[in-house]
């Protein structure tokens, strides 16, 4: 083999055959898999379609946390194909705004260069990004109703671009749910009404956080008033349309967001309608109230299936106003009802009239059955319900609701520090001895409060979670208090007898505590309230599960 000098080897390597003939890449392509990377604030932009339009109510807390601890949870980022900057993938626009503010204030590199997790732009990128931001914002910082409504409206536009056709409200609800942001169809209807009819008139009130229930009240009021207007304005020549009238009445209320009142809006609207139509205020108010009730009956279907009812009674017209749901005022509902003919026979109701009548009857019946199971109302914010539902969707754990299970499980509702909506069901997050003891002790104290003896109950980290201190022998509480104390003592962690303390034993007065009568002479005695009884059942259920867990931690609940 011929020896080759270094100069000759260098010349061969520099020959044209080894030269790079293709175009030089100006930048590396984005990773095709999830990849951690460091980006600067100059490289990272907020998501342009972020549904949050107002300041995050948790902004100051988030800023203080990032200032003290740094960015514990860097936002996930992505990049559209061909774009020159990264964007927040889902949630995190608030954190990005905080970082920009802290960088401006401190010039610290820790706020300028951040480690993020890059995720490739998905095939349905815009829709996935928008629904992701909707879900994340719902979990962290709470969107106002109008922000949610505008976000859903933008999602509808993207879905229609994707499919090339318009979507019904039910189809939109299905697609949103499939992409991780479930919204009931009835809410979508209210959202669209809000964007179309309310936002042009009261933007400040809406952006300041007008809640869903108030928005629904306004939407139902607008529809009921419009139907009433059309009923009386048909034969008159008026120089104003109802839509203009509604806007003119509603717009002045946008000046006082903190004192907004739906009742005042209704009063003003009906007052203006009365002047323009020449109809008595009270007549219009009765019509509007009646149509509002019918609208709620149509838009709020029964919570549980009910058997079909055969309507074989004669529907009579009556000018005497009565309270809904059996209202027969002289309104559009009465106009649709069967009318007596000249020979006093009654026309048969149409299928639509029967359906509307059943909807009203069933709504009243379902509501009555629902209310009969509520011992004391259990407060729960809309935000908490949304978070619980999102967590349940993520974990796959079914989330029982009081209204859905009211006639299916053991669904007695009672309020308190730990509200009860199902006596038997135990949430997965409660399946630990420490958590169970906390709940058990609280229920024991609330039961004892009925007898004004809450100070006799002490939380305990052993046993089932509480101890019951006997009263002084020299002090004799009323019979009811002694019975409550004896009942709780029988369940509680054993307490050693102390000199001077009364010995608590369950005796034959236990029946009186639960039933309110003495079996021996049937005299009426104080008894545990329904609220206390539900809490006692719940206490026993949790205590049994606690003992099962400690005896066999792997034993499933049943």
pLDDT along the chain (558 residues), means of 10: 73 65 60 86 86 81 88 84 85 86 90 89 83 77 81 90 88 88 84 90 87 85 91 84 91 76 90 91 88 64 35 33 36 36 40 41 48 60 68 63 58 73 79 88 88 83 84 67 84 62 60 67 72 89 89 71
Cis peptide bond N-terminal to 325, omega within 30: yes
Residue 249's pLDDT is what? 92
Q: Which of 91, 203, 96 is nearest to 149 (CA)?
A: 203
Residue 404's pLDDT is what? 60
Q: Which of 97, 98, 92, 89 is nearest to 65 (CA)?
A: 98
Distance of alpha carbon 425 from alpha carbon 423, whole angstroms: 6
Residue 268's pLDDT is what? 92
CB 557 within 8 A of CB 542: no
Element (H, E) at 218: helix 212-233
Residue 181's pLDDT is what? 85
CB 114 within 8 A of CB 102: no
Distance of alpha carbon 83 from alpha carbon 79, whole angstroms: 7
Instruction: Say which DSSP state 4 is in.
Output: -
Q: Which SS3 state, helix, strand or coil, does residue 216 take?
A: helix
Q: Where are the alpha helices (DSSP H) in 251-348?
A: 262-277, 281-299, 332-336
User: Which residue in this structure is represented by tokens 């980006």?
Assistant: 39
Residue 273's pLDDT is what? 92
What distance separates the 2 farthest-apart alpha carbons in the chain? 127
Residue 416's pLDDT is what? 72
Phi then psi dihedrals of residue 48, to 5 deg: -65, -30
CB 169 within 8 A of CB 424: no
Element (H, E) at 524: none
Beta strands at 86-88 and 44-45: parallel, antiparallel or unpaired: parallel
CB 194 within 8 A of CB 215: yes
Structure tokens that stand for 520 in this block: 């021996």
Q: Which residues pair with 467 in a beta bridge?
A: 458
Structure tokens that stand for 361 in this block: 């009857």
Beta strands at 113-118 and 35-40: parallel, antiparallel or unpaired: antiparallel
Report the 3 state secondary structure along 351-370. Answer: HHHHHHHHHHHHHHHHHHHH
Structure tokens that stand for 484 in this block: 């409550």
Torsion sign across C-alpha atoms 145, 147, 148, 149 = positive
């Amino acid at each position: 083999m011929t020896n080759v000098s270094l100069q000759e080897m260098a010349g061969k390597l520099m020959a044209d055959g080894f030269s790079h003939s293709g175009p030089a890449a100006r930048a590396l392509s984005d990773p095709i898999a999830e990849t951690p990377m460091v980006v600067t604030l100059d490289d990272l932009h907020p998501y342009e379609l972020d549904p949050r339009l107002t300041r995050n109510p948790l902004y100051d807390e988030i800023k203080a946390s990032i200032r003290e601890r740094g960015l514990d949870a860097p936002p996930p980022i992505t990049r559209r194909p061909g774009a020159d900057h990264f964007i927040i993938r889902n949630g995190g626009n608030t954190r990005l705004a905080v970082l920009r503010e802290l960088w401006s204030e401190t010039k610290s590199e820790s706020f300028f260069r951040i480690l993020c997790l890059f995720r490739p732009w998905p095939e349905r990128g815009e829709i996935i990004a928008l629904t992701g931001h909707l879900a994340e914002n719902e979990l962290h910082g709470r969107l106002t109703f109008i922000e949610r409504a505008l976000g859903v409206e933008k999602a509808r536009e993207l879905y229609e671009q994707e499919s090339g056709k318009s979507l019904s409200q039910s189809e939109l609800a299905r697609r949103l749910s499939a992409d991780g942001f479930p919204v009931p169809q009835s809410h979508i209807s209210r959202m669209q009404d809000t964007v179309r009819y309310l936002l042009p008139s009261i933007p400040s009130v809406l952006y300041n956080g007008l809640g869903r229930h108030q928005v629904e009240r306004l939407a139902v009021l607008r529809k009921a008033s419009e139907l009433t207007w059309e009923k009386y304005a048909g034969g008159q020549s008026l120089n104003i349309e109802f839509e203009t009238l509604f806007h003119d009445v509603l717009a002045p209320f946008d000046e006082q967001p903190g004192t907004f009142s739906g009742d005042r809006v209704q009063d003003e609207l009906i007052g203006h309608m009365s002047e323009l139509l020449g109809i008595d205020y009270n007549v219009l108010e009765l019509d509007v109230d009646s149509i509002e009730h019918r609208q709620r009956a149509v838009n709020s279907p029964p919570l549980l299936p009910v058997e079909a009812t055969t309507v074989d009674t004669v529907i009579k017209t009556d000018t005497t106003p009565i309270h809904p749901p059996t209202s027969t005022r002289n309104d559009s509902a009465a106009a649709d009802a069967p009318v007596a003919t000249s020979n006093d026979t009654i026309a048969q109701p149409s299928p639509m009239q029967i359906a509307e009548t059943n909807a009203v009857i069933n709504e009243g019946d379902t509501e009555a059955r629902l209310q009969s199971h509520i011992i004391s109302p259990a407060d729960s914010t809309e935000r908490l319900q949304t978070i619980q539902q999102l967590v349940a969707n993520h974990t796959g754990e079914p989330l029982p609701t009081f209204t859905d299970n009211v006639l299916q499980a053991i669904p007695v509702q009672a309020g308190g520090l730990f509200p009860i909506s199902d006596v038997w069901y135990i949430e997965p997050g409660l399946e630990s001895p420490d958590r169970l003891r906390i709940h058990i002790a609280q229920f024991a104290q609330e039961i004892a409060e009925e007898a004004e003896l809450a100070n006799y109950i002490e939380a305990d980290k052993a046993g089932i979670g509480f101890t019951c201190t006997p009263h002084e022998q020299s002090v004799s509480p009323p019979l009811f208090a002694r019975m409550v104390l004896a009942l709780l003592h029988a369940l509680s962690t054993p307490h050693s007898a102390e000199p001077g303390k009364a010995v608590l034993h369950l005796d034959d007065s236990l029946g009186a505590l639960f039933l309110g009568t003495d079996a021996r002479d049937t005299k009426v005695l104080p008894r545990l309230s329904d609220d206390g009884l539900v809490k006692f059942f719940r206490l026993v259920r949790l205590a049994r599960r606690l003992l099962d867990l400690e005896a066999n931690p792997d034993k499933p609940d049943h």
